[in-house]
Chains A and B, each alone.
Chain A
Amino acid sequence: MRILRILLEKEFRQIFRDPAILRIIFMMPMIQLLVLPMAADYEIKNVNVAVVDLDHSSYSIQLVNKIKASGYFNLVDYNESFEKSLEYVEHDQADIVLQIPASFEKDLVREDKATLFMALNAINGVKANLGGAYLRSIINDFNREVRLDWVQLPRVNPQPTFQISSINWFNPLMNYKIFMVPGILVVLVTMVGSFLTALNIVKEKEVGTIEQINVTPIHKYQFILGKLIPFWVLGLTTLSIGLTLEWIFYGIVPVGNLSTIYIFAAVYLLGVLGLGLLISTYAQTQQQAMLISFFLIMIFILLGGLYTSIESMPTWAQVFTKFNPVSYFIEVIRMVVLKGSTLFDIRYHLMAAAIFAVVLNSWAIVNYKKRS
């Protein structure tokens, strides 16, 4: 115990003397949580539309006005040449070209149907997809209005129709921040836990201090605990800072119990630290450790369900996410923050986190050698 105490004392002393670590722990959550959610916005606004109006009828003008009034679209140009509009797309000034044919109003009135042409710039797939969908729904809406104008509907609808109305459970206003910010916090805690542990141990290798430690009679487990405990505490500190920032700046208060998050995080961090430890047993320099961690964290984020939902991934990718500790914590924190899940609800996640902790740490301990 005396040896473990002096190891911890030494580790905390070094941490508090290293201004870079303190900055990482306090500044990184601030910047990531305050700036990133603004940018990581799913809503598509400011879709640039170029309208080619060959009709110039009252209906075509009504349609263009409706598009403008929706608030999602910027009218880049209003002209009579498809080639010219396509040029805007080529210069990346327009995302969508909407062509209204010359006989639009005539066809609509005489034949009860008319066609419109829509060309989407698919370089940014998400924007093209969502922008196209918005535009389509505006046109549908316009279509209905036109029909209402013409047809006097009977009092009782001759055919039965469905009216669908929906309600969004757990996040009624579909506020994406409530759902993004906790996810970003999870990534942050993971990075602090794994990067700092790996870098810290590899630094001892690089400077040569580990050699001096290795000739002392301390046990492997004492050395490893002396490394894990400080970074476990730091990880939980980052989590607490992050949760406080979420509450202050976004008013996010978990519906569920805070202790559920902390209990899961405590187990989860053991796994993350084990990962850092494992990296440190393979890497010889801090540069190597940094690159390995970075590579892994990229995969963890992209296959973690933070930005894209896991359910819509291909099956093989879904299998991968089962081996991604980050995906469990992202799911848990969203469940607890939005839905108020209890420890019982997250029992399988907790079990997975415990397995990660056991496997990664045992692997690291086996691989850590005091002599070569």
Chain B
Amino acid sequence: MIAVKVNSVKKTFKAEKSVVTALQQINFEVSKGELFGLIGPDGAGKTTLFRILTTLMLADEGAASVDGFDVVRDYKEIRKRVGYMPGRFSLYQDLTVEENLSFFATLFNTSLEENYDLVKAIYQQIEPFKKRRAGALSGGMKQKLALSCALIHRPSVLFLDEPTTGVDAVSRKEFWELLRDLQKHQITIIVSTPYMDEASLCDRVALMQNGKIMEINSPKGITENFKKPLWAVRGENMYQLMQTLQASEAIDSCYPFGQYHHVTFTHAIPDSQVASELAKIASVVEVKRIPATIEDCFMELMRQ
């Protein structure tokens, strides 16, 4: 059963004199109950894609359907059955937590009591502050309130635009646990994030860059596609080390990653000889073989 289907969608914006292509030839499908991640840096086109799927914007070309309904023709049906949480906190700051919830519930012709089982896990965390105005909540609390409001009408597809941006590490972890819980209710979730480490928490991810999808796969599938052996290298002077390595013929790629530089070689070299090969080029302190992460795959795809 396919929940969301996007077929060669294209969208351009007119800037001053030039035309900016926000999305080009986007194709993907999400099946029911899946947790699908859109991973990409700022400006990749994630929000534009969300706005098209939630019927807030019309695509220039291509077709898309949500829950079997066309986004252009059946927009009314879609508005009844999707939940959308924009990247920016968009609830009424001068209404209380409780008032915001009952307001949105009424707009969808339902009530908090009717769908309490669905929002219970999230709502319980903000319930102590239900008399507080939404504008006075902390960032993490605001996210939870926004999620509750997006869920209040038991949507079949949930769109979350960068829900964890600007939220602390603990709240982020909690938030992803909540999303995992929601899958039990057969809700399809499409979530976008600029954080690569969150990709591994999705069932499948699409890596986006400059309005294009570079790859769609499960997080495991993506990292397995990284064929070259990857090495983490550390030296005395990290900046100089990177410059020397990048200039070398033998090195295919080298970029900083936390405390280390991640390095791949142009030609295959037996593992035992790597340390000595590197020593010929520059002075290194530590060399170790590591498994590729999503970010490594992203860097590799960007190079292509």
In the complex, which residue of chain A has the Cβ closest to the Cβ of B89? A208
Residue of B nearest to A9 (CB): B103
- What band does the interface of chain A fall in when counting residues whose beta carbon is under 8 Å from B? 20 to 34
> Contact mask A11-38 → B, CB, 8 Å, 1/0?
0011001100000000000000000000
Chain B residues with CB below 8 A from A372, complex form = 56-58
- Are B90 and A209 neighbours in the complex by a CB distance under 8 Å? yes
CB pair A2–B90 under 8 Å, yes or no, is: no
The verdict on B172 contacting chain A, using a C-beta distance below 8 Å, is no
Task: Determine how close the nearest CB of chain A comes to the CB of B84; give it in whole angstroms.
Answer: 5
Stretch at the interface among A167-175, A190-198, A210-218, A278-286: A210-218
Asked, given contacts A215-B54, A371-B56, whether A3 binds B92 with beta carbons under 8 Å apart, the answer is: no
Q: Is B99 an interface residue (CB 8 A)?
A: yes
Asked if B94 is at the interface of the complex by the 8 Å CB criterion, the answer is yes
B88 CB-CB contact with A under 8 Å = yes
Q: Are A10 and B104 in contact (CB under 8 A)?
A: no
B91: contacting residue among A209, A217, A218, CB under 8 A: A209
Question: Which residues of the partner chain A approach B80 to less than 8 Å between Cβ atoms?
Answer: 217
Q: Which residue of B lies closest to A210 (CB)?
A: B90
Residue with the greatest number of chain A CB neighbours at <10 A, chosen from B89, B91, B92: B92
A164 at the interface (CB under 8 A from B): no
Query: Min CB distance, A199 to chain B, in Å?
Result: 14
Fill in one digit per residue for A96-124: 1 if any B CB lies within 8 Å of its CB, else 0.
00000000000000000000000000000
Stretch at the interface among B106-114, B265-273, B279-287, B288-296: B106-114
- Shortest C-beta distance, B125 to chain A (Å), equals 21
- Per-residue CB contact flags for chain B residues 105-137 toward chain A (1 = under 8 Å, else 0) read 011110000000000000000000000000000
Partner of A207, one of B79, B93, B102, B109: B93
Q: Which of A17, A209, A217 contacts B108 (CB 8 A)?
A: A217
Query: Beta-carbon contacts of B123-155 to A below 8 Å, as 1s and 0s?
Result: 000000000000000000000000001000000
Chain B residues with CB under 8 A of A370: 56
A216–B79 Cα distance when bound, in Å, is 5
Chain A at the B interface: mostly helix, strand, loop or mixed? Answer: helix
Which of A6, A208, A371 is the one whose CB lies under 8 Å from B88? A208
Q: Are A208 and B103 in contact (CB under 8 A)?
A: no
A6 touching B95 by the CB < 8 A rule? no
Q: Which of B71-101 contact A (CB under 8 A)?
A: 75-76, 79-80, 82, 84, 86, 88-95, 99
**What is the bound-complex CA distance between A156 and B92, given in angstroms?**
87
Residue from B54, B56, B93, B103 in contact with A6 in the complex, judged by beta carbons closer than 8 Å: B103
CA distance A209 to B95 in the complex (A): 12
Cα of A213 to Cα of B104 in the assembled complex, Å: 8
Q: A13 to B89, alpha carbons, bound, how many Å? A: 20
With A211-B90, A212-B84 in contact, do A13 and B99 touch (Cβ < 8 Å)?
A: yes
Closest residue of B by beta carbon distance from A222: B107
What are 12 A-B pairs at a CB distance below 8 A? A3-B107, A10-B92, A13-B99, A208-B89, A211-B56, A211-B90, A212-B84, A217-B76, A217-B79, A371-B55, A371-B56, A371-B58
Other 15 A-B pairs with CB < 8 A, given A6-B102, A216-B104, A371-B57? A3-B106, A10-B103, A13-B95, A17-B94, A207-B93, A208-B86, A208-B88, A208-B89, A209-B91, A209-B92, A211-B86, A212-B104, A216-B108, A370-B56, A371-B75
Enumerate the 4 nearest inter-chain pairs by beta-carbon distance, A residue then B residue, closest first: A208-B90, A6-B106, A216-B107, A212-B90
